[in-house]
Amino acid sequence: MSAPPPGVLSDVLGLPRGELAALLAPVIDRPYRVEQLYRALYEQGATSFDEITVLSRPLRAELAQRFRIGLPEVASRHVSADGTTKYLFRLVDGATVEAVDIPDGARRTFCISSQAGCAMACRFCVTGFWGAGRDLTAGEIVGQVLAIAGRLHAQQSLNLVFMGMGEPLLNVDNVERAIAVLAEWISLRRITVSTVGVVPGIRRLAAWERRPNLAVSLHAPDDARRSELMPVNRSYPLAELMAALREFPLEPNRRLTFEYILIAGTNDAPADADALARLLADAGLKDRAKVNLIPVNPDPVLGERMVPPAPEVVTAFRDRLRERGLVATVRRRRGDDVAAACGQLRAFGRDPRGFRRSNLSW
């Protein structure tokens, strides 16, 4: 459990029951009272201790003096023409993160952040242009979901994707703790953790007793180009990544998702589709894989050459993968008019670092 900043009360959000009971032990020594508080936070969406009227008034007052319900402040909210809503949350120490609510009929998908910033410096991602921030606590992760949803009770139609700001598997302890709480109300089949390919984190996730879905950012079928687009590949090249994914346990009817950003003139040729299919087949992953193609979302900080292919090129790439026996889909762009689409979330409150020098011949 992360310690709060000096002078800040301990947060009761994001703690599994055992940890919550230990935190509250100086005030509450009866398990059923802890359970009442727990249910009030997540099923009733309590935003202050005073709202938890099943607890006595003196107890509520003492809880408020010692602890906080750490819902993030909504600093701004932008609604896209397609109904997608982007939230800028301000955290207790002034750090900021963004999260996105994507409606799709009766279903909603929340894209939530695990870090305030990102050190991965992927060339197609705006967050990486601003550089690293800090890990979010489990409470700050869960708090994003509660701030958007209000409460977790009866959220059968809600999907959660850890695809916002940050690399979840560099903050695996807090992500695991947050998922342990969230999964009580949201099926693990509706929770996805997306990684750039941090192999030790993948192995940690593989060892969990119960696991969410795993999505892996691939974006190039060879080490040379992947290392230029994603510096993490220099630490965990494709052979090592594929070996870890081959060993990743999957429940029946579940697949690994491989995310592939399509960039015009960089990784979108028919030969690239063939190489991608061959990479997954040679790794023994073809029947365990789903490829999600994502036309890159342009942004001024990414440079003028970071543009998506023409729609017919995207369709041809998808069809070529399907012809080679892969499950392949194209992600529909959502929220790009408010910079809420994939790769467009920003980190505020510090100067942009920019990207490392690249050898890409653009």
Active site residues: 98, 342
Distance CA 114, CA 286 (A): 29
Show the tokens assigned to 102: 């994507």
The answer to whether the beta carbons of residues 132 and 117 sit under 8 Å apart is yes
Distance CA 243, CA 172 (A): 20
The answer to whether the beta carbons of residues 99 and 144 sit under 8 Å apart is yes
| Chain centre distance of CA 344 | 13
C-alpha separations of 236 from 117, 233, 253 in Å: 21, 5, 28
Distance CA 35, CA 58 (A): 18
Continuous segment of H or E residues that includes residue 217: strand 213-217
Residue 190 gets which letter from DSSP?
A: G
Show the tokens assigned to 122: 């992927």
Q: Nearest Cα to 280, choosing from 218, 224, 353, 202?
A: 218
- Residue 299, CB-side half-sphere exposure with 13 Å CA sphere: 22
Show the tokens assigned to 347: 């980190």
Distance CA 81, CA 197 (A): 33
Distance CA 50, CA 42 (A): 15
Q: Nearest Cα to 217, choosing from 241, 251, 190?
A: 241
Show the tokens assigned to 238: 């494709």
Burial degree of 311 (CB within 10 A; 0-12, 13-18, 19+): exposed
Secondary structure of residue 90 in the 3-state scheme: strand
Q: Angle, to 10 degrees, between the axis of helix 31-42 and the axis of helix 17-24?
A: 120
